[in-house]
Amino acid sequence: MNGSPGMTPVPSPVVTWTAVGQVLDLLAAFGAMLLVVWLIDRHRRRRGTSPAEIVAVAVTALWCLIESATGPASVVATLGEVARNLAWLTVVLTLFARDQRDQTVAPVRPVLAVLAFVELLQIVLVVLAHRFSAIGAAVTMIGQFADLFHLLTATGALVLVHNIYVGAVAGQRSGVRWSCLALALMWGYDLNYYTIAYLGHVVPDELVAMRGAAQIGVLVMIGLAARSGSSLRLSPSRTVAFQSLTLLIIGAYMIVMVGAAQSVAWAGGNTSELVQLGFAFVTTLVIIALVPSARLRRWLNVVLAKHFFQHRYDYRAEWLRFARTIGRADANGQPLHARVVQAVADITDSARGVLLVPGEGGALVLAARWQWPTLDVPAVAMDARAVAFLERSGFIVDLDQVRRGTDHGGETALMPHWLVVEEQVWVLVPLLHFERLVGLVVLGRPALVRELDWEDFDLLRVVGQQLASFLAEQASHAALLEASRFDEFNRRIAFVMHDIKNLASQLALLSRNAERHADNPEFRRDMLVTLRNAADKLNMLIARLSRYGAGAVAASEPVEADSVVEAVAARCNTALGIAQVIAGDVQPCPVLAAPDTLDQVLSHLVQNALDATQGDLAVLINTRVEGDHGVIEVIDSGCGMSADFVRNRLFTPFVSTKPGGFGIGAFEARELVNAMRGRLEVESREGLGSRFTIRLPRAPGVAAPCPEYEAQPIPLKAAVS
């Protein structure tokens, strides 16, 4: 066969377009060869040129040479065009694969495979045309199929090119602009070329000759794309609809219709009329059955609105406004619950709303109002059954549909009566956090009432989930704060109970000694002093409890630590009836401390030392000044403690080795010393005893001792001998 079926060029009597086409094809081939050399050099220098582009340009050069030598209607030129299209479809795949969009957008690879298959069918048609070359009608029909397949390839390829461009973010489209323009020019020209061939069964010589000029334009744009860096990384588009599938379906429908028409034409006679009437009848039945379907119409409306029309919302602006509303933390800002309602109301332009949150028993109760003081909300705003329905379905309830009885989720029977009869209540937006309802926003009607659509529901659902996380986080924070307050109060009570236990022990010891020394006037005088100190101690404990939440330690002031030590020693000896607490090397020691707190710390440490001391051994207390600190030592010769006990258990609350002990004395002493900006140190040896050292800031205006003075550690046994 001398020509491609279905395309018989019409010779022009005025201009020899064949010669013009040959020249243009030669120029395109020469330019493609130069471009191949340049692209190979760029690829060698790793400038971003892909091997698929180099191969596609090389195949285009070969096809232009073949078309210039043999004409556009030859079998070799047809096969060369098939190779050219396959090569450029591979380039399309590489453009998608640069950002893995061929994997994230599922139809890319199947569409390319279908287009490649349709293009390979041209080889089959060439073979069939050669086989039935003696039958003119068969050659004509095969030519029409060839033109139709070319139309399908060009249409599908143009749709893919369109998706490449629109799938890139605005800042990166300049990198793919020239590549997309080149591919659009090539397949756009083919689309017009084969449309004329299919409809008119002939192609003007002018259009055939200008294919070379179109290829020159394609090569120029490919060069510009390579120079401008067309290999920039793209961002995958999640919302671009793949019209390729629709177009392929339309193409398949066209093929079926062409085959049916040809079959009817071959059948002839009354049979063709019966087939046409039957087809019209079946088509009419399908249209009548499907078009009135409300569900089908809603589905088509959503699909068309999502993929063919601009979105109503500017999502960037909506999200920024949402963030500003929720994150407002100024002094005049509204509480979080009111801001939650406002954030939802701003989306639908509602002027007011309320927030319902779960109460006792799972029912919803009023939590906040936003610009709606007149709405009458009952004590139980929504029962647990409706709450369970909203948690299970996640529906955004349009009360107008409920009032009309046109809801489709069964929420009519579950909606509270007060919501249905109140005409100003418009929409209910559930706030779900891990499938649990943490709130329900009730919106009032906006100034311009409209029907909510899929876009409103999508945005409200996402915002509701985000707001639910904020409410859940606030509830968790409030629970932790309450738990910390109870923990602090329990700790304070534990300290007080420990001090009361010590006072009770002192008073019990004083009462036992009173039985033996009641007749001694000096004992009675000391007993009165001890009772007065015990009363003062109880008053101090009451004052500490009254300072709950305002800090456990009073303000520090200059205190003579040596005077406090002597007072504690005298009080303990009076309660014991013997001089078991010795104020040993007591030097002037002015420190910055709270007097009552320092007395309490020393009382804890001395009492613990007495409990650890056996027999007639005494507890020694020393004071001195070291540098910028005043030092108070409490030394006993008791059983001592192991290093592991000191490190892991001594300052652990509620851990005690004494029967009936609270295990909180040492912990409280350390906490109080730290609160006075001091430090409590421990030195202990099992079987030898322990030394507790309190270091507090030295009061200003007191000279430090000479540097050569350094207190030597006192052997524990010798210190109290």
18-22 contact pairs (CB < 8 A, 24+): 18/71, 18/205, 18/209, 20/209, 21/67, 21/68, 21/72, 21/205, 21/208, 21/209, 21/210, 21/211, 21/212, 22/68
What is the token pair recorded at 634?
A: 């409490």
Q: What is the pLDDT of residues 533-547, one digit of tens each?
A: 777 777 776 766 655
Residue 196's nearest CA partner among 207, 187, 186, 188 is 207
CA distance 245 to 111: 7
The token duo for 253 is 């429908």
Distances (CA, A) of 143 to 187, 191, 530: 19, 16, 122
Q: Tell me if 43 sits within 8 A of 49, measured CB to CB.
A: yes
* DSSP H stretches of helix in 651-700: 665-675
Cβ atoms of residues 73 and 53 within 8 Å: no
3-state secondary structure of 275: helix
Q: How far is CA 46 from the centre of its chain?
A: 37
CA separation for the pair 328, 678 (Å, rounded): 41
Please state whether the predicted TM-score (pTM) of the whole model is above 0.75.
no
Query: Which residues are within 8 A (CB) of 11 and not within 5 positions of it... i.e. 6 or more apart?
Result: 18, 205
Q: In this structure, are residues 460 and 344 in contact, taking their beta carbons and an 8 Å threshold? A: yes
Looking up tokens 């009451």 gives 542
In degrees, rounded to 5, the angle at the alpha carbon of residue 565 between the alpha carbons of residues 561 and 567 is: 115
| Distance (Å, whole) CA 152 – CA 115 | 8
pLDDT of residue 273: 55
Which tokens belong to 396?
Answer: 């955004």
Location of each CATH 1.20.1070 domain in the chain: 17-270
Residue 678, Cα to own-chain centre: how many angstroms? 45
Query: What fold, for 553-719?
Result: Heat Shock Protein 90 (3.30.565)
Is the distance from CB of 109 to CB of 99 less than 8 angstroms? no
The pLDDT of residue 182: 84
Cβ-based neighbour number of residue 608 at 10 Å: 23
pLDDT tens per residue across span 455-503: 889 899 999 999 999 999 988 888 887 787 667 767 667 667 767 777 7
Residue for token digits 């929720």? 326
Please give the CATH superfamily to which domain 321-480 belongs: GAF domain (3.30.450.40)
Burial 283-309 (b: 16+ CB within 10 A, else e): eeeeeeeeeeeeeeeeeeeeeeeeeee
- Asked if 268 and 189 touch (Cβ cutoff 8 Å), the reply is no
Distance CA 466, CA 635 (A): 60
Of 122, 109, 184, 111, the closest CA to residue 148 belongs to 122
- Nearest residue to 356 (alpha-carbon basis) of 343, 366, 346: 366
- CATH 3.30.450.40 intervals, the chain: 321-480
- Taking 3-state DSSP, the helix, strand and coil percentages for the chain, each rounded to the nearest 5, stand at 60, 10, 25
Distance, in Å, from the CA atom of 362 to the CA atom of 357, rounded to the nearest integer, reads 9
**Closest C-alpha to 611, from 577, 672, 657:** 657
Tell me how far apart the alpha carbons of residues 23 and 171 are, in angstroms, rounded to a whole number.
40
Instruction: Supply the pLDDT for residue 719.
Output: 37
CA distance 290 to 536: 93
For residues 278, 282, 288 and 290, what is the CA-based torsion angle, rounded to 10 degrees?
-170
Kindly state the tokens that stand for 533: 């100190």
Which pair of structure tokens corresponds to residue 212?
Answer: 């070379």
Delimiting residues of CATH 3.30.565.10 domain(s) in the chain: 553-719
Per-residue tokens: 272: 């063709």
Q: What is the DSSP string of 317-330?
A: HHHHHHHHHHT--S
The pairing of strands 619-626 and 581-586 is: parallel
Distance, CA of 721 to CA of 716 (rounded, Å): 9
Q: How much is the pLDDT for 345?
A: 92
Torsion sign (Cα): 700, 702, 703, 707: negative
Instruction: Determine the Cα–Cα distance for residues 576 and 717; give it in Å rounded to an integer.
Output: 21
Alpha-carbon separation of residue 629 from 600, 606, 669, 700, 705 (angstroms):
20, 21, 18, 10, 11
**Phi, psi (5° rounding) for residue 328?**
-70, 120
17-270: CATH class: mainly alpha
CA distances from 225 to 85, 218, 612 (A): 19, 10, 89
Give the burial string for 114-147 (b: 16+ CB within 10 Å, else e). bbbebbebbeebbebbeebeeeeeebebbbbbbb
Q: Is the dihedral of CA 284, 289, 292, 293 positive or negative?
A: negative
CA of 63: how far to CAs of 19, 50, 159, 191, 644, in Å? 17, 20, 24, 18, 88
**667 closest CA partner among 654, 683, 686:** 654
Q: DSSP for 88-129?
A: HHHHHHHHHHTTTHHHHSTTHHHHHHHHHHHHHHHHHHHHHH
Kindly give the parts of the chain with pLDDT less than 70.
1-15, 46-48, 98-107, 134, 136, 138, 166-176, 228-312, 329-333, 407-410, 485-486, 489, 491-492, 494-495, 498, 541, 543-554, 575-577, 654-663, 701-721
